[in-house]
Chains A and B, each alone.
Chain A
Amino acid sequence: MERLESAAALEGLRTRLVKAQDPKLLVVRVCLGPGCLAQGAGKVARAFRAELRKKGLKGKVQPLVKETGCHGFCKQAPLVSLSPSDLFYVQVSPDDVREIVETSLVKGRAVDRLLYGENGTRYRSASEIPFYRLQEKIILKNVGVIDPLSIEDALAAGAYRSLAKALTEISPEDVINTVSLSGLRGRGGGGFPTGRKWRRARDYAQENPGPVYLIGNGDEGDPGAFMDRAIMEGDPHAVLEGMTIGAYAIGAQQGFIYVRDEYPIAVRQLNEAIHQARALGLLGNNILGSGFAFDIQISRGAGAFVCGEETALIASIEGRVGEPVTRPPYPAQQGLWNRPTIINNVETWANVPHIIEKGAKWYTGLGVPHSTGTKIFSLVGKVKNTGLVEVPMGITLGRIVEDIGGGVPGQGRFKAVQTGGPSGGLIPYQFKDVPPEEMKLTKFGLRPRGFLPTELKDLPVDFDSLLQAGSIMGSGGMIVMDDHDCVVDVAKYFLRFLQEESCGKCLPCRLGLKGMQEFLDRFSKGQGHPEDIDELKSLAQAVADGSLCGLGGTAPNPVLTSIRFFRDEYLAHIMEHRCPAGVCKDLITYRIDPELCNGCTLCARNCPQECISGKKKKAHAINSGACIRCGVCRDLCPVDAVKVE
């Protein structure tokens, strides 16, 4: 394709591409997001290709199979959607492909057994399913729809329209004004107003002429979070477009996207997208004939969690050890090679084209005051519909976990939600009676109890409300827990993660996380004194106060919030030597209920310790001396006769 020399040429190309798309042609979209790939979506896509060729449908299906980014409904992976019939199939295996092709593509009917069903209803298309119906997809609109490896597909869906608009109609100053007015806040966790950050960099760059840099932060490392990954893999051009608009506003010539090497698909899609955008003149010198030059380079990280912190990220790009340094000076003043540098999360960048296209006013209409727009969450844990959801800010937590998430699977009850990943806090689902002295939060300042709703399901999800509840928005991980999750164990898990990811520079973080872990290890063994809980709190406070960067500063959050809201559970471990959730291995025993056991021998055959005895058709028993409490017997038992005490 030829280089585009003007905005009009871009529109001309777009019109040609849209015209070339025959709405009657069939399209098969196979989701190749991380969840679907793990469930064998690659094989499904191959099976589709082979089957379509065999059936001679090559000309009627265009392109043969569209391999898209994440559709979001990861629980039901692998996912396949068809257009124009708008059919949406879940849990598709390669064996189902022939039936789909014969029934849906040739005869135009639905394969009922592969449609998603809930409470007795079968849904034909994705937009009818409650999981999708309650979402508001703006950033993810094209993710799962377009082929991320094809710029033509992205252009037909409207990519780079905002860039053309910005370059031809809006002055750099007005771009910053629009972003400021939209109230966009950083999506990586801190929630710093994006417009203010840009202005600071622009002002500083004008006082000190020289190069200015942009960085897209795609170093996503929270356990159970894959928002940035979905954007980079599913719609890389949105990130590139957002960054190019930002570069135009600030006057930058060079941008970097920092992606961890554990995301090889994201690296591939981004590289390909950059390559294609350069070929069309949407990156590089003289973009769209405007004389403005900007280029983007991929910088691959080695997977250190701490490198998501902006100063550590800068050190990593410069080739130094990824350790944070003190701020100020902020990167907006002195960042990469001591020049003004704007670091925004890739999700923030992906918001920018929408703001420029539709205006600040439209954007502030989404969400609530001070937290505008939409936010992507990865909803994981004990919910029926795990996956990626995009909702307007200010939606209540209950709506996300109950209506979109579909509630807890099985018999469990909601207990808590961890927002913001390992740096966030546990929020109890039923608001608990918490002593007033517990409500004084350390670093972020918790407001008085009256501001919080009495039930968590009414808590609005926005930057400020989450802070009030003692948690943070973070990058958008949302882990739901039920009454089979022990808070001590959860706190221990996050602490272990952070301890492994600490860079080791500051003593309170390097030694303190290890020390806190020692406290929790004692608790989970039923050892320790009740006063130790307050000692742990005091240590957690010291770690938060004494650490330099956000990792150490927020690391005690899971511990502090779990003590605040679930002190009774800590006390049960210490005083009664009992784990109410039945998780801490040193405090539980497995027992087979002789009344319920039907003697199927399944447990005895699978016990790794071979410590279950009993004859066929007779009640079995566990030798608790040899039992390692692995839980295999409980998972296998068909009659739920294995009890935990």
Chain B
Amino acid sequence: MSPEKELIGATEFIDFTINGRPVQARPGWTILETARQHHFNIPTLCYHPAVRPWGSCRLCVVEVRYGKRSKVLPSCLNPPIRELEVFTDSDRVLNVRRWVLEMLLADCPGSREIRDLARQYGVTSTRFTVTNPEEECLRCGLCVAVCTEVVGVQALTFGSRGVSKQLDTPYRVPNNACVSCGCCVTVCPTGAMGHRIDQVRGDISRRTGRGYAH
């Protein structure tokens, strides 16, 4: 269990409400996990049960009210607390989701998955500049996380920062650490990794044993 979850330290079931309906979370569950267990639909792109939540896509945001305070939080990272009121489709939540989806349409126009998801929220066109019409990768970090946490080889990483952040291999060269397991392709929410895995692992026929040392 991750240290964050240990800290939450809940040993009891937690009762709270989602969209007005009472629900119960098991110890260690996040709001997202509880909501999915109770069949509430919260869209996600960067969430995968196999890795620690990273919270980059921000589509899973929900509005939480506790007493008089109201906040918009990513449900994949936050555990519920007793008597919390969660709203999965409030105006503020939909505002974030629609804008993120509209911007994603411009950022990764090549992805069918994103187009379908956007259509569910009524977003069919984008006002933002499209830089690369083929782009599919939204830089959610799932492939990096699965390669590091599950496979344990760190053949993938992010290069550069901010607006120019790119998925890359360390030092931007094909990587002998890659074991061609295909986990990154499996978890990729948009299919972008399928086209890139050959760049990650390089020419598999030219491998020698030495590269596998680490």
Contact = CB atoms under 8 A, between A and B. Distances in A.
A63 B19 CA distance: 73
A201 to B, nearest CB: 14
Nearest to B160: A504
A420 interface: no
Given A328-B7, A504-B139, A506-B56, A542 B96 contact: yes
Contacts of A504: 139, 158, 160-165
B96 A502 contact: no
B190 interface: no
A146 B185 CA distance: 62
Contacts of A548: 55, 74
Contacts of B106: 511, 515
A71 B65 CA distance: 49
Contacts of B128: 511, 514-515, 518
Given A321-B158, A542-B95, A326 B129 contact: no
B163 A506 contact: no
Nearest to B79: A328
A416 B139 CA distance: 39
A513 B158 CA distance: 20
A543 B103 CA distance: 11
A338 interface: yes
B77 interface: yes
Contacts of B164: 504
A539 B92 CA distance: 11
Interface in B82-103: 92, 95-96, 98-100, 103
B14 interface: no
B163 A542 contact: no
Interface string A542-578: 1101111000000000000000000000000000000
A124 B121 CA distance: 70
Contacts of B55: 326, 505-506, 548
A511 B104 contact: yes
Contacts of A501: 162
A546 B72 contact: yes
* Contact size range, A: 20 to 34
Interface string A526-545: 00000000000011011101
B99 A538 contact: yes
B118 to A, nearest CB: 13
Nearest to A511: B103
A279 B54 CA distance: 45
A510 B58 CA distance: 11
B138 A326 contact: no
B158 A512 contact: no
Contacts of B72: 545-546
B58 A507 contact: yes
B165 A546 contact: no
Interface residues of B, number: 37
B100 A546 contact: yes
A286 B129 CA distance: 62
Contact of A545 (B7, B61, B77, B160): B61
A627 B150 CA distance: 60
Contacts of B104: 507, 511
Instruction: Identify the interface centre among B3, B78, B127, B160: most chain A CB within 10 Å of its CB.
Output: B127
A304 B95 contact: no
A292 B198 CA distance: 57
Question: Which among B74, B98, B163 has the highest number of chain A CB atoms within 10 Å?
Answer: B163
B116 interface: no
Given A329-B4, A502-B163, A545-B72, A508 B99 contact: yes
B155 interface: no
A329 B100 contact: no
Interface string A493-511: 0000001111111111011
Contacts of B3: 329, 334, 338
Contacts, number: 100
A512 B61 CA distance: 16
Contact of A538 (B74, B95, B141): B95
A511 B95 contact: no
A475 interface: no
B161 A503 contact: yes
A579 B43 CA distance: 42
A333 interface: yes
A503 B164 CA distance: 10
A494 to B, nearest CB: 15
B107 interface: yes
Contact of A539 (B56, B99, B107): B99
B129 A518 contact: yes
A37 B6 CA distance: 52
Contacts of B163: 499-500, 502, 504, 510, 513-514
B100 A511 contact: yes
A217 B100 CA distance: 32
Contacts of B127: 518
A505 B56 contact: yes
B57 interface: yes
Nearest to A204: B7
Contact of B77 (A326, A333, A508, A547): A326
A506 B103 CA distance: 12
Contacts of A304: 161
B12 to A, nearest CB: 18
B162 A502 contact: yes
Most buried by B among A507, A518, A541: A507
A374 to B, nearest CB: 31
Given A542-B95, A546-B61, A333 B7 contact: yes
A543 B72 CA distance: 11
B103 A541 contact: no
Given A334-B7, A546-B58, A503 B162 contact: yes
Interface string A143-169: 000000000000000000000000000
A328 B78 CA distance: 9
A9 B92 CA distance: 63
A164 B201 CA distance: 61
Nearest to A504: B165
5 contacts: A505-B56, A507-B58, A515-B106, A515-B128, A545-B72
Per CB-CB distance, the 8 closest pairs between chain A and chain B, nearest first, are A504-B165, A511-B103, A545-B72, A542-B99, A546-B96, A502-B162, A504-B162, A546-B58
Given A506-B56, A508-B96, 17 more contacts: A333-B7, A338-B3, A499-B162, A502-B161, A504-B158, A504-B160, A505-B56, A507-B57, A507-B100, A507-B138, A510-B163, A510-B165, A511-B106, A512-B100, A545-B92, A545-B95, A546-B61
